[in-house]
């Protein structure tokens, strides 16, 4: 019921912040977004300005230019989602480069629309994002979906390969334990004989012929014992590990990745490792660094020896891992969130299996340092490790 002089109820308008380094295009967006449902509360020409304005203006939606000087849209989106996880971001760009689409979605954007799209499509993208949905411009959606499916397929295959190698290693370790048990059982008889002969010799009262006979038996049993130990050692070590140079391995994994450099001591001694697991551990750490670093930033691999360990460090220039998530990133299926609502950028099965593989070979994988300037993951391998 309306009373005389009463004002009609005003429906809540979505608050929008426009971020683009091109002033003319910002003005076009202001005109497009001037609707009954949308209210532009501010505009910014840089990533840092937008972060400051979001705190001040508290918009519902941020229209984010992907390519800006200084802090680009990907890095800005990451920081915004860390500080204000409830704010939705819609990416804007002049081209349909799928790498940019993937990076923006991984950073936490809810949608992606081309700058030359129809004004109605841009408005609809804002509305859809406000409903916690995702939107892709028709010109890029099929390609992006295909590439995302391919990437998921590659990750699945890599996880399966690493899991298979890990299962094989566990099986071989189980076989190794069985061999050790058998060795203990087989050793009892010759050791008991040797011990008995030695006690008899030590007791005295034997003539020279008896002593000579016992000494021959003692030498024969000791030689048989040595051969038995050698045979079991060969069986234990067979096909389990091989001596590997970590510097050569790092260069092999980095080959073809232009952003990755390998530095350190090339004369680090070789250590016995399972080659499949060692390759996968380093590949997961490098790919993790590339995946969560700003576009074009370097990922550095540093190899040295410190005390009784070799350290393989992988250093990126990403936004860092929040303090409360530093144990969680090593849990299985950490990246199992929907791509259009992700706020925690985990690394899926990769880090979990990499740590498990490293520990199976007497080492470890851990997050050494992390902050706004990047993260350092370190793989430690004992120098005195025996195969």
Q: What is the pLDDT of residue 291?
A: 86
CATH classification (class only), 166-237: mainly alpha
Q: Rg (Cα) of the chain, in Å, rounded?
A: 32
Closest by CA position to 65, among listed 78, 74, 55: 74
Pairing of strands 364-371, 111-114: unpaired
Residue-by-residue pLDDT tens, the chain, 387 positions: 443 444 344 457 889 999 999 888 888 888 888 888 889 999 999 999 999 999 899 998 899 998 888 899 899 999 999 999 888 888 887 766 667 777 887 888 887 788 877 788 888 888 877 776 555 555 555 555 566 656 666 767 777 887 887 787 777 677 566 555 655 655 666 677 787 888 888 887 788 888 888 888 888 777 767 665 655 554 444 446 788 999 999 999 999 899 999 999 888 899 998 887 888 889 889 988 998 888 889 999 999 998 899 999 999 998 888 887 777 777 644 443 333 333 334 334 467 767 877 887 888 999 999 998 899 999 999 987 655
Burial of 355 (0-12, 13-18, 19+ CB in 10 A): buried
CA gap 90, 14 in Å, rounded = 14
CATH architecture of 241-382: 2-Layer Sandwich (3.30)
First vs last C-alpha separation in the chain: 85
CA gap 128, 195 in Å, rounded = 84
User: Out of 3.20.80.10, 3.40.1360.10, 3.40.50.2300, 3.40.50.150, which CATH number does the structure's domain 14-139 have?
Assistant: 3.40.50.2300
The count of other CB atoms within 10 Å of the CB of residue 115 is 17
Model pLDDT for residues 27-77, shown as the tens digit of each residue: 888 888 888 888 999 999 999 999 999 989 999 889 999 888 889 989 999
CA gap 38, 32 in Å, rounded = 10
Burial of 349 (0-12, 13-18, 19+ CB in 10 A): buried
Question: What are the domain boundaries of the chain?
Answer: 14-139, 166-237, 241-382
Q: H/E element holding 87?
A: none
- What pTM does this model have? 0.40
Q: What is the pLDDT of residue 386?
A: 56
The count of other CB atoms within 10 Å of the CB of residue 380 is 20
Closest by CA position to 200, among listed 209, 212, 190, 211: 211
Q: What is the pLDDT of residue 254?
A: 93
Q: Are 319 and 297 a contacting pair, CB within 8 Å?
A: no
Q: What is the pLDDT of residue 175?
A: 58
| DSSP H helical ranges for the chain | 23-32, 47-57, 73-83, 98-107, 119-130, 141-203, 208-237, 246-254, 275-291, 349-360
CA gap 191, 91 in Å, rounded = 75
Q: What is the pLDDT of residue 365?
A: 93
Q: What is the pLDDT of residue 252?
A: 93
Q: Are 354 and 332 a contacting pair, CB within 8 Å?
A: no
């Amino acid at each position: 019921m309306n009373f005389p002089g009463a004002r009609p109820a005003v429906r809540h308008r979505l608050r929008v912040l426009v971020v683009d380094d091109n002033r003319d295009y910002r003005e076009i967006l202001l005109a497009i977004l001037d609707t009954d449902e949308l209210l532009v509360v501010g505009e910014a020409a840089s990533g840092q300005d937008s972060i400051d304005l979001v705190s001040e203006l508290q918009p519902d939606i941020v229209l984010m230019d992907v390519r800006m000087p200084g802090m680009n849209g990907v890095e800005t989106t990451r920081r915004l989602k860390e500080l204000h996880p409830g704010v939705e971001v819609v990416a804007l760009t002049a081209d349909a480069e799928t790498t940019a689409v993937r990076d923006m979605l991984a950073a936490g954007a809810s949608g992606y629309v081309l700058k030359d799209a129809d004004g109605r499509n841009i408005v609809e993208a804002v509305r859809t994002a406000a409903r916690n949905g995702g939107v892709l411009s028709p010109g890029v959606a099929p390609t992006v979906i295909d590439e995302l499916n391919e990437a998921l397929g590659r990750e699945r295959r890599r996880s399966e390969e690493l899991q298979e190698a890990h299962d094989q290693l566990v099986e071989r370790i189980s076989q190794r334990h069985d061999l050790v048990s058998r060795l203990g059982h087989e050793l009892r008889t010759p050791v008991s004989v040797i011990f008995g002969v030695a006690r008899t010799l030590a007791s005295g009262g034997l003539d020279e012929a008896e002593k000579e006979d016992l000494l021959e038996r003692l030498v024969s049993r000791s030689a048989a014992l040595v051969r038995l130990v050698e045979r079991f050692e060969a069986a234990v070590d067979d096909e389990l590990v091989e001596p590997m140079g970590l510097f050569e391995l790092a260069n092999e994994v980095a080959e073809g990745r232009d952003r990755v450099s390998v530095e350190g001591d090339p004369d680090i001694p070789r250590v016995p490792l399972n080659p499949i697991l060692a390759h996968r551990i380093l590949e997961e750490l490098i790919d993790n660094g590339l995946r969560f670093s700003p576009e074009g930033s370097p990922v550095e691999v540093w190899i040295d020896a410190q005390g009784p360990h070799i350290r393989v460090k992988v250093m990126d220039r990403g936004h860092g891992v929040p303090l409360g998530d530093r144990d969680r990133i090593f849990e299985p299926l950490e990246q199992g969130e929907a791509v259009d609502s992700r706020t925690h950028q985990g690394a899926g099965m990769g880090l979990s299996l990499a740590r498990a593989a490293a520990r199976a070979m007497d080492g470890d994988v851990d997050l050494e340092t992390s902050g706004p300037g990047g993260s350092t993951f370190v793989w430690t391998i004992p120098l005195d490790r025996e195969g």
